[in-house]
């Protein structure tokens, strides 16, 4: 398992840090999409303690930039990268609100090839801002991993989230008194929104088949097996690429 060799990441966050689940997620999200990373400039949205930024770096990314609103997580990410010998010029972690950074992409020098959005979509309700902001970066690839609602139509369930928790979302604009309204879309709602903002889903990772083959009866990834969590690789649609050119 990938993180067996990098155990600091099991200590710098209590969020979803089961080592076996992390290792399985690495295989499904990163090994499957290893071709998108060599030489790429990667942006990691809500980069937490840098675990997935580091995975991209180890797969050959030329540079990684993480955006993380929690200062302690930025410090953990920087310490983790330094501990594991990643050259300082090959990584940067921005301690700020994701939406503020995306809004000022030029001021933040966001020149990227690959955008990671792993475990964030269900911690916001600002989908228009998120997908429009990512599309404006004109990446070659947009890798998404998200929990979703099981529904047969485009649907978003809203909830109130406690932003004081390490695992929760945070938003400088709409968070108030330690709370924030967030949403969880169905897979059809997610795909509709991606299409509307110029992205096409080019690979929907087949988690059930992968789990059946490699990790049968593994309880830690049952959300993937049941379809309540997904991993999609997206590219700009043909029409939006023509517009960009």
pLDDT digits (tens, 9 = 90+) for 53-64: 999 999 999 999
Q: What is the C-alpha separation between 141 and 23, in angstroms, rounded?
A: 22
Per-residue confidence (pLDDT) for residue 20, from 0 to 100: 95
- pLDDT tens for 143-174 read 999 999 999 999 999 999 988 887 777 776 77
Residue 153 pLDDT: 95
Residue pair 81/12 in contact by the 8 Å Cβ criterion: no
pLDDT tier, 142 (very low <50, low <70, confident <90, very high otherwise): very high
How many domains does the chain divide into? 1
Query: How high is the mean pLDDT of the chain?
Result: 94
pLDDT > 90 in the chain, percent:
86
Report, as an integer, the average pLDDT of 50-75: 97
Strand boundaries in the chain, DSSP class E: 41-45, 63-68, 91-95, 114-118, 141-147, 156-162, 179-185, 199-204, 229-236
pLDDT of amino acid 37: 98
Q: Is the pLDDT of residue 243 over 70?
A: no
pLDDT for the residue 176: 74
Structural domain span for residue 148: 2-244
**pLDDT per position as a tens digit, 182-226:** 999 999 999 999 999 999 999 999 999 999 999 999 999 999 999
- Whole-number pLDDT of residue 174: 76
Asked whether the predicted pLDDT for residue 242 surpasses 60, the reply is: no
pLDDT class of 125 with cuts at 50, 70, 90:
very high
CATH of the domain at 122: 3.40.50.150
Instruction: Quote the pLDDT of residue 240.
Output: 62
DSSP 43-68: EEET-TTSHHHHHHHHTT-SEEEEEE
Q: Do 100 and 69 meet the contact criterion of CB atoms below 8 Å apart?
A: no
């Amino acid at each position: 398992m990938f993180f067996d060799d990098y155990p600091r990441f099991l200590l710098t966050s209590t969020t979803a840090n089961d080592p076996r689940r992390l290792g399985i997620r690495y295989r499904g999200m990163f090994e499957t999409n290893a071709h998108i990373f060599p030489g790429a400039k990667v942006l990691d949205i809500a980069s937490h303690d840098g675990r997935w930024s580091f995975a991209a770096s180890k797969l050959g990314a030329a540079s990684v930039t993480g955006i993380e609103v929690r200062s302690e997580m930025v410090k953990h990410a920087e310490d983790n990268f330094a501990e594991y010998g990643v050259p300082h010029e090959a990584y940067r972690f921005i301690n700020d609100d994701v939406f503020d950074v995306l809004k000022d992409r030029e001021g933040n020098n966001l020149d990227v090839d690959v955008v990671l959005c792993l475990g964030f979509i269900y911690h916001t309700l600002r989908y228009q801002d998120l997908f429009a902001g990512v599309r404006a970066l004109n990446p070659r690839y947009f890798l998404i991993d998200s929990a979703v609602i099981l529904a047969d139509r485009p649907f978003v369930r809203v909830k109130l989230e406690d932003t004081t928790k390490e695992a929760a979302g945070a938003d400088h604009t709409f968070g108030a008194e330690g709370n924030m309204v967030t949403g969880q879309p169905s897979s059809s709602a997610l795909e509709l929104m991606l299409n509307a903002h110029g992205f096409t889903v080019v690979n929907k990772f087949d988690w059930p088949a992968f789990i059946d083959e490699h990790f049968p009866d593994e309880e830690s990834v049952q959300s993937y097996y049941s379809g309540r969590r997904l991993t999609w690789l997206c590219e700009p649609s043909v029409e939006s690429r023509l517009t960009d050119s």
